[in-house]
Chains A and B, each alone.
Chain A
Amino acid sequence: MKLELKGISKAFGTFYANQDIDLVVEPGQIHCLLGENGAGKSTLMNVLYGLYEPTAGQIVVDGEVMNFRGPGDAMAAGIGMVHQHFMLVPVFTVAENVALGAEPTTFGGILSIDQTRKKIREISDKYGFDVDPDALVEDLPVGVQQRVEIIKALVREAKVLILDEPTAVLTPQETDELLDIMRQLKTSGTSIVFISHKLREVKAVADVITVIRRGKVVGDAPPSAPTAELASMMVGRAVSLTLDKGPANRKETTFVVKDLTVRAPNGTYVVDGISFDIAQGEILAVAGVQGNGQTEMTEAILGIQEHVTGSVTLDGKELLGLPVKEVLRSGVGFVPEDRTVDGLVGPFSVAENLVLDLYDKAPFAKRMSMSPAKVEQNAKAKIEEFDIRTPSAGAAAGTLSGGNQQKVVMARELSRPLRLFIASQPTRGVDVGSIEFLHKRIVAERDVGTPVLIVSTELDEVIELADRIAVLYKGKLVGIVPSGTPRDTLGLMMAGVGAEGVSHEH
């Protein structure tokens, strides 16, 4: 099946998420859409899948102009989609999820789920998916859930399969398996549209690469194109992909975590007896697939988790049990993983957000009153220093782009004299240009002698920033390894396999 997009535009109000996009997906090809977060890739695919109606343009399948009113039409035309956030009902079985929307029935609409079971087994055997049709989806690991999504599309006889950032939730090993599956699907005649911003994966599997930037097609490139060239097409200027970072100059060990344990309300251990320490002038990066206890660990250190045991000491002082304010006043800078929820107050101005931590202290406050002039002055200085692109200091923080919002959070947290700096997902959803800047600031903080704890689910980021790498799996510390550890080893550790033969110096 040949799929063509002709002049697709999609506007939300006055903002064009897609503008005049042309794209041809040839049969039996893996076609990569490469672009940064927010470049408009997902919007384009939602248009193609019938979830959004295009403002202008045509979708042409095998020479025939289509008019999709909803996903049902798109599926009927042979288009299947695996969404970035899985569209699976957690309390349904695999078979029920696959059947939904195209239910095999006997008379009177009575479900005959057996037919679906049989189909799932067939597909599962054909591609070696190893999926049990009767398992509850919520009990399955994300990698398997993703296969369920693929099965859903295949059962509906999709000829073109759209995969929207499919590797974001996978371990490196699972990613490799997925890339294999994609090649297999291609061999059996299914075309694939692979959406990603990860150059390594795109280059590994693509037949054609189309780069999208700010809602427009920048151009096509062969997978053999050099990484730097693809990156600069994606970002729109030359970027340095490697961070210029000297070796760590470790001094005194001032931050020690011992047997840190966090229990969830249901009694499970989300963080299970973690111990590590960080020296001044060193970055410890925590790697791991999302949801393995990273969030709870950092929040426990900050004091916003309940049911925490163990010990966390900074400069010899116990932090556990202290109110959050006390923890912050002990010199902890904290960048939370979700800036829009925990890092910023969206409707507040940039200037106000920059003093959320110090609003009640001199010079910003004097007893009961605040000094707007000082807040403004501070904002001007930080906007300058951190290159925050905002119309004014008075603009609502929520209106800025992801990268600039993150700079606001980072600027605020780095503006106190720090004894410890913690950043969770410091560059999630941030454009490549800002990533460069934020990484440099983190390294600079290390170089003035602050112990730095980074948590990231992006392995590339971990490898880039870390002086030592700790890997979390199901709330446990699998190991702490030096920064030069190969990706494969780290990948295995992220799947819970211990790093044997690696020394754990402390």
Chain B
Amino acid sequence: MSTATTAPASGAAARTTAGERPPLKVPVSLSVLALVALVFFGLLGPGKTAEMKVSDPGDAIVLPSIAIPGQVGGIVMGVLLLAAAAYSVYLWTQGRRSPRWLPIVFAVVFVFSLLVWIVAGARQPSISLAGLIAGSVTLAVPLVFGSLSGVLCERVGVVNIAIEGQLLGGAFTAALVATVTRNAYIGLIAAAAAGATVSMVLAVFSIKYLVNQIIVGVVLNVLVSGLTGFLFGTIMVPNKALFNTPGRLDIIPIPLLADLPIIGPILFRQSVAGYLMYIAVAVVWFGLFKTKWGLRVRAVGEHPQAADTLGVNVNATRFWNVTLGGAIAGIGGAIFTLVTIDSFTQEISGGRGFIALAALIFGRWNPIGAFLASLLFGFAYNLQSILGIIGTPVPSQFMAMLPYLVTVFAVAGLVGRSRPPAASGIPYVKG
């Protein structure tokens, strides 16, 4: 091009990826996984038949179990997976990206194939699918509350690493207050207050004193862990009956609906906290995307200066949102001591706050995404324990790694393109 071009305006539009191929990441990883599934779960798969029970014997409606022969089932699903991978490769050769549903469908089939492989290879090749799913939801409840807390904080521009501390604080306070007042519901409210208190410390230091939010968050986690550990050792252990027998929140089944197979236990046989979870997801989603409040919250998290010039009080919005987030995480913490177990033990949250953080990122800072991601992690937790019970050839230590492996792969492999709120983690100073 020794003479300059005289391109007209329309032709001078920036050349984008035309002629370029989309990234190879998806086609390659799908192909590798499909081959793994075909060879290990199929061709080298166990000969036994895996039985998956869909309903419990006591249910009102009892459906027959699903029986899948290990090897044949593995081969069939492996071929399906290969077909999906081939489709992805085909799209790539055409210069197109794989549609978003493809990896999701692939993941579901892959996990099911893995499940059949493990179950068929176990000493006792039978699991309850209904129990697996219901248990996943139960384990996911604290994660959902935790990740909703993260969504609220990050959407408004404050990074909340302290979810773990909020969960733990909520769990401890719920146990203590419920025992003292002899009322689990008061315990639940106290847990929210405890979570909010932890959050307020985060808010004050990060918003008013501009301390690095990550550092405040980490310090809060350590602080709450130490504080609850100390109080547990000095108060609860010597006087368990007086301070650490909270009792449980009642399960309130909704008549008829609660007896539906699979979805009954998930949706209609929950404690107040469980129903609250569904309500919270819906309310936070609706609030963030359909109301004036949500528009302002998102504006503050994306471009605080713009919000300020339109008369939105940036730091007050941040403060109250972070506080609200803490209250929600606190309720999530109460699940540990009022629903899952009926007493507090040291470090009862066991790192779930960090998994919740991963869930919110995996869920792309969207309440519904965070909810689904939490369910995935809950599933991983539950699978680990159920597979331990039926006795698989896979060592239990590897099974214990499952939730964390899922976290790493989910966040590293699938989040890539998502974009956090632009001002997340950046304090707002006027002028």
> A residues bordering B, Cβ < 8 Å?
46, 49, 51-52, 70-73, 75, 81, 83, 86-92, 96-97, 99-103, 105, 108-111, 152, 258-259, 267-270, 272-273, 275-276, 470, 473-480, 495-500, 504, 506
Contacts and interface: CB of A to CB of B under 8 A. Distances in A.
Nearest to A102: B310
A497 B305 CA distance: 36
Contact of B17 (A90, A108, A268, A497): A268
Given A89-B303, A495-B9, 12 more contacts: A83-B309, A88-B306, A92-B295, A103-B296, A105-B291, A110-B291, A152-B310, A267-B20, A477-B4, A477-B5, A478-B7, A496-B9
A468 to B, nearest CB: 11
B3 A506 contact: yes
A68 B313 CA distance: 14
Given A99-B295, A103-B292, A111-B290, A475 B3 contact: no
A100 B295 contact: yes
Given A100-B312, A105-B292, A110-B290, A498 B6 contact: yes
Nearest to A501: B6
A470 B1 CA distance: 14
B255 interface: no
B295 A96 contact: yes
Chain B, interface size category, equals: 35 or more
B58 interface: no
Contacts of B303: 87-90
19 contacts: A51-B309, A51-B431, A71-B311, A86-B306, A88-B303, A89-B303, A89-B306, A90-B303, A96-B295, A100-B307, A109-B291, A111-B292, A272-B15, A474-B14, A477-B5, A478-B7, A496-B12, A498-B7, A498-B8
B1 A259 contact: yes
Given A92-B299, A100-B299, A496-B12, A504 B4 contact: yes
A100 B306 contact: yes
Task: Give 8 closest A-B pairs by Cβ, nearest first.
Answer: A72-B311, A101-B310, A498-B6, A87-B306, A496-B9, A103-B292, A496-B12, A479-B4
A475 B15 CA distance: 9
Contact of B8 (A269, A497, A506): A497
B291 A108 contact: yes
Contacts of B14: 268-270, 272, 474-475
A408 B373 CA distance: 54
A87 B292 contact: no
A101 B4 contact: no
B234 interface: no
A390 B312 CA distance: 42
Contacts of A71: 308-311
B8 to A, nearest CB: 6
Given A51-B309, A267-B16, A480 B4 contact: yes
Given A90-B302, A109-B293, A478 B12 contact: yes
B311 A101 contact: yes
Given A71-B310, A92-B302, A102-B310, A473 B292 contact: no
B29 to A, nearest CB: 20
Given A268-B15, A478-B12, A87 B309 contact: yes
B181 to A, nearest CB: 33
B430 interface: yes
Contacts of A72: 310-311
Contacts of A480: 4
Given A269-B14, A495-B9, A478 B295 contact: no
Nearest to A497: B9
Contacts of A275: 1-2, 4
Nearest to B312: A101
A53 to B, nearest CB: 10
Interface in B1-53: 1-9, 12-17, 20
Contacts of B4: 275-276, 470, 477-480, 499, 504
B9 A52 contact: no
A495 B312 CA distance: 36
B422 interface: yes
A476 B291 contact: no
Given A89-B299, A89-B306, A100-B312, A476 B292 contact: no
A15 B345 CA distance: 59
Contacts of A504: 3-4
Contacts of B6: 478-479, 498-500
B7 A91 contact: no
Nearest to A505: B3
Interface string B306-334: 11111111000000000000000000000
Given A90-B303, A477-B4, A497-B9, A111 B295 contact: yes
A47 to B, nearest CB: 11
B7 A90 contact: no
A270 B290 CA distance: 37
- Which has the most chain B C-beta neighbours within 10 Å: A46, A70, A108? A70
Contacts of A110: 290-292
A463 to B, nearest CB: 18
Contacts of B295: 92, 96, 99-100, 103, 111
A100 B310 contact: yes
A474 B16 CA distance: 11
A476 B12 CA distance: 7
